[in-house]
Structure 1
Amino acid sequence: MIVTTVAKPRFTPPMVLVGLIGLSLFINYIDRGNLATGAKQISADLNLSATRYGSLLAAFYFSYTLLQLPVGALVDRWGAKRVLALGATLWSLSTLLTGFATSFPQLIVLRFCLGLGECVGFTTASKLIAAHVPRKKVGLANGIIGFGYMVGPAVGTLLGGVLMAQWGWRPVFIGFGLASLLWLLPWSRIQLRPEHHRDQTPIEAVPLRRILAQRSLWGASLGHFAGNWNWYFILGYLPLYLEKARGFDKVQMAEVASAAYLVNALAALLGGWAMGRAMEKGWSATLVCKLPLASAQVVGLVTMLAMPVLPIRGCLACLFAYEIFLGLSSPPYFMIPQLMAGPRGVARWVGIQNMIGNFPGIIGMVFAGVLIDASSGSYVTAFLVAGLIDVLGLVGWVLILGKVEPVDWGNTGPRAASS
């Protein structure tokens, strides 16, 4: 008698999966940040005012933000692996085609498509981490993810700035878009374990109404909104600010901005590791998450108010202090929904939280450009508004967000697709 055996599938180890997700967000943030790196050249080439430049930034965030909620439902239906692959393909092609754009309307359309592709990043990442990473590794996993998306602007600004100074902005967009497509090769080879309850029945997605009833969702969303107002303002306007208001040339700007972003990324990695260790030692998830988030909002308030009025050394000191505390606070943004909502609710929770949290990309980017134009090129008022928004963050993270503990969703809801 011939006995045949079926080879067991080799599932991708959790931290290898996390590494590939972090790499995708690294690429994600390089591609979205290229516009800021080349802002001066692109504005001169296409005759863009600060308001029009702000509109380009907002076009990305318009599609990126408003599609967060439907993406959460799509991830539950199609699976996170497939949705992330589709998004990566779209954002890579949008970056590549930007190098061929010759008008403001073309750039608007391509930035909209870029946001359409990149909007899947954090929802799919959170779904995969919640479903496939052990609880004790969630802090480190989010630190790695934070390092990925925060080191992206560092590498993109330095490499893009140097290359744009040598070759111009168009070849850089084309090259980065082609390089981004390569990530799809290792991603196509990952194997995920099926998602089950302990009784081996497939997990079920939580109805949207149940998630919307969670007070902590709204606290996290308000805090996310405030934190992103500052982060997106710096990400979108720091290169222009250093070049136009502080007199830096392209290479000097790239060196300073990329160094700040690198410090940010390293702080995120350190913060994720430290949070994981603290939870292993018995610290409550509430303290581990809330302390760095509240500290970052306080530091953000002080540094945003101080940067435009201090001499250049003081300005840069504030910039680096802000980046350090922002990095330390980045892992809890998505640890909170992963720990509270779990695999059943995390995709839709993150969809809602990330949608609200990214409205600063729409209103903040345009508003900052309008303020700069209205102030004859001065950035003081835009920095002032960014700082005051941090007060909202304190209210959200400290007062509205409750205990960071798993929510009991019960047993109702449609079955979810495998990620």
Structure 2
Amino acid sequence: MPISPEPVQATRIRYVVLAWICAAAIVVYIQRTAMGVAATRIRGDLGLSEVDMGWVMSGFFWAYGLSQIPMGCVGQFWGSRRGLVVSMLIASSLCSLVGFSWGFSSILVFWMGAGIATAGVFPSCMQSISAWFPRSRLALPSGLLGSAMSVGAAISATLTGILLSLHDRFAADADSVLMPWLGAALSWRGVFILYGLPGLLWAIAFGLWFRNRPAQHPQVNAAELELIVSDQDPINPQREQGAPIPWSQLFLGSQMLLLSGQQMFRSAGYAFFGTWFPTYLQKVHDVSIGWSGFLTSIPLMGVIFGGTLAGWLADWIFNKTGSRRLSRQWLGGGGQLVCALTVIAAWYANDLVITVPLIALGSIVMAFGGCCSYSVIVENARPHVAPAYGMMNMMGNIGAAVSPVGAGFIAKWYGWEPVLLMYAAFYFLSFCCWVGINPDKKLFTE
């Protein structure tokens, strides 16, 4: 009796792809977060006012947000490989050029240019996930990509502070033989030059190794290819890259509007941690600047954990039930509702020992919305994943840019305590958008 051959194990090149795009997210967020940490040094060195510095930081986010759709379209037309490589090369080069700025105009142009180039990274990342993962395993890579963004921000905030502190230490030691070159390397200029280098190396290595489709990659065996494409929609790669953008559905489609709305409101709430949360802690709970910085890091760590947990949980629910309603809409929307309730509870408690853990819990479940909305885009936007993600992310950046202004007005008129209620309202509005999202419905019709 002949012995049947053992089945060939599928290779795992898709997870190497995931590691590459998560590394891109970390690098990009290290670069973009450094400006806020180094702002005081930059102002002093270039002679900028607080208003000037505000324009520089705001300029990046407006350039980044408004470039999402155009750069997403470029990513679809070029393909993920070229889109990611070119975006990362330009963004990283401009990040390094920030270190050579000589005044307000130069740093504004360099930093806004970096924002435009960075806008091309994540639409192409989502397009890569769409091509390289089966639909039954989309949530985990989407969640890990979101977590990688927060990891990069946390690394940048810590590392930039350490490097600038070391600069101060060596600057105080005027007799040190290391000071002439080490001081320059650890200045804010050296930091930006340094942070651009990993992106350049990433772009070169990624461009040599990556392929847009699993079938094009020599290290992917037949078993892995079958695993990936078995439950994907059959779309011709050439047709996908050249497909005309359905502009009316992109801007006015009901599902796109709801997905963009949940992203806008959720990002408006998330912006609290990067803007006013330390000030809220100082004003309402009378904590020191240093302690407020540490307490702010706790919800940010919650976002990292929440994104990873959401990815695993969403895939587990989907594979157990086969329901996208449960694994996308209920999980993502339910997270926003629970987050709103925890923020309201934190406001009501008005006790630091209770407030911070409640807000940290809220940040964990809030991250469910990011993972689930990315999964809906990846599953239902083909062949226009990149511009659809660009549309959603553009609205998210608008929400993040506008919400700190609203918080400032509320604090001015009513004090800092009611500010929490505004952010709770943002999460509740995000939940309301999720109520209308149908994760079983295609975003674009032919």
Partner of 1:31: 31
What secondary structure does 2:350 align onto? coil
Secondary structure, aligned partner of 2:321: coil
User: TM-score, normalising length from structure 2?
Assistant: 0.77
**Which residue identity does 2:303 align to in structure 1?**
N
In structure 2, the CA distance between the partners of 1:99 and 1:200, relative to structure 1 (3 Å rule), is: closer
Aligned pair count? 394
Supply the distance in 1 between the matched residues of 2:266 and 2:235 (Cα, whole angstroms).
40
Cα deviation for residue 242 of structure 1 reads 6.1
Does residue 386 of structure 1 match 2:423?
Answer: yes
* DSSP-derived class of the 1:402 partner: coil
Q: CA deviation at 1:225?
A: 0.3
CA distance in 2, matches of 1:128, 1:228: 23
Matched residues in 1 for 2:282 and 2:95: separation? 24
> Do residues 261 (structure 1) and 287 (structure 2) align?
no
Structure-2 separation of matches of 1:110 and 1:308: 44
Q: Which of the numbers 179, 184, 190 marks the counterpart of 2:203?
A: 184
2:310 pairs with one of 266, 271, 279: 271
Greater shift in the superposed pair: 260-269 or 91-100: 91-100
Rg larger for: 2
Shift in alpha-carbon separation, 1:259–1:134, aligned structure 2, 3 A: same
The aligned residue for residue 321 of structure 1 is 361
What amino acid maps onto 2:364 in structure 1? I
- Alignment-derived partner of residue 222 in structure 1: 261
The structural deviation recorded for 1:155 is 1.7
Cα gap change, 1:165 to 1:370, in 2 (>3 Å):
farther
- Does residue 285 of the first structure (1) align with residue 308 of the second (2)? no
Matches within 5 A, 1:95-110: 95-101=95-101, 103-110=103-110
Match of 2:437 among 395, 401, 408: 401
Cα deviation per residue 1:200-224 (whole Å; 9 max; x = unaligned)?
A: 6743425333444531111111000
Please state whether the residue corresponding to 2:211 is helix, strand or coil: coil
Shift of 1:320: 1.5
Residue number in structure 2 paired with 1:175? 194
User: Does 291-300 or 323-332 show the bigger shift?
Assistant: 291-300
Query: 1:80–1:124: 8 Å Cα contact kept in structure 2?
Result: yes
Q: C-alpha distance in 1, partners of 2:107/2:236? A: 49
Shift in Å, 1:394: 2.1
1:47–1:256 distance in 2 versus 1, CA, 3 Å: farther
Q: How does 1:20-419 map to 2 (within 5 A)?
A: 20-39=20-39, 41-42=41-42, 46=47, 48-49=49-50, 54-101=54-101, 103-167=103-167, 169-188=188-207, 189-193=209-213, 198=234, 202-204=238-240, 205=243, 207-212=246-251, 214-238=253-277, 247-249=287-289, 252=291, 255-302=294-341, 306=346, 310-342=350-382, 344-368=383-407, 374=412, 379-380=416-417, 383-398=420-435, 400-406=436-442, 409-410=445-446
1:253-277, Cα deviation, whole Å (9 max, x unpaired):
6544444423321221121011111
- 1:184: Cα distance to partner? 1.7
Segments of 5+ residues of structure 2 without an aligned counterpart are 1-10, 168-186, 217-228
Counterparts in 2 of 1:397 and 1:227: CA distance versus 1, 3 Å: same
Which residue in 2 is equivalent to 1:414? Answer: none
Of all paired residues, the percent bearing the same amino acid is: 22
Please tell me whether the aligned partners of residues 36 and 236 of structure 1 are also in contact (alpha carbons under 8 angstroms): no
Inter-CA distance 47–381: structure 2 relative to 1 (3 Å threshold): farther
- The separation in 1 between residues aligned to 2:342 and 2:117, in whole angstroms, is 33
C-alpha spacing 1:165/1:314, structure 2 compared with 1 (3 Å)? farther
Larger mean Cα displacement after TM superposition, 33-42 or 137-146: 33-42
Residues 128 and 212 in structure 2, CA contact (< 8 A), matched pair in contact too: no
Distance 2:444 2:395 in 1: 24
Report the CA distance between 1:21 and its aligned residue. Answer: 0.8
Contact (CA 8 Å) 2:150, 2:300: kept in 1 or not? Answer: yes
Q: Is the 8 A contact 2:264 2:398 kept in 1?
A: yes
The answer (yes or no) to whether the contact 1:303–1:322 under 8 Å persists in 2 is: yes
For 1:286 and 1:103, how far apart are their aligned partners in 2? 52
Structure 1 371/113 Cα, relative in aligned 2: closer, same or farther at 3 Å? farther
Give the counterpart letter for 1:298 in structure 2.
L
Q: Distance in 2 between matches of 1:327 and 1:226?
A: 13
Aligned residues: CA RMSD: 3.3
Residue deviations 1:16-40, cap 9 Å, x none? Answer: 1121111111111222222233345
Q: Which residue of 1 aligns with 2:181?
A: none
When normalised by structure 1's length, the TM-score is 0.81
One-letter identity of the residue aligned with 2:210: I
Partner letter of residue 178 of structure 1?
A: L
Q: Which amino acid aligns with 2:125?
A: A
Q: Post-superposition shift, 1:139?
A: 1.2
How far has the Cα of 1:169 moved from its partner?
3.9
Point out the more displaced range, 230-239 or 143-152: 230-239
Q: What's the CA shift for 1:79?
A: 1.3
Q: Distance in 2 between matches of 1:116 and 1:286?
A: 35
Q: Is this contact kept in 2: 1:29–1:153, CA < 8 A?
A: yes
Q: What is the letter of the counterpart of residue 73 of structure 2? A: A
For structure 1, which runs of at least 5 residues remain unmatched after alignment?
A: 1-10, 411-419
TM-superposed CA distance for 1:309, in Å, is: 8.7
- After superposition, what is the alpha-carbon deviation per residue over 1:172-217, rounded to whole angstroms, capped at 9, x for unaligned? 3332222332222331221332699748674342533344453111
Tell me the residue number matched to 1:5: none
AA in 1 matched with 2:269 = N
Given that 1:339 and 1:405 are in contact with CA atoms closer than 8 Å, whether structure 2 keeps it comes out as no
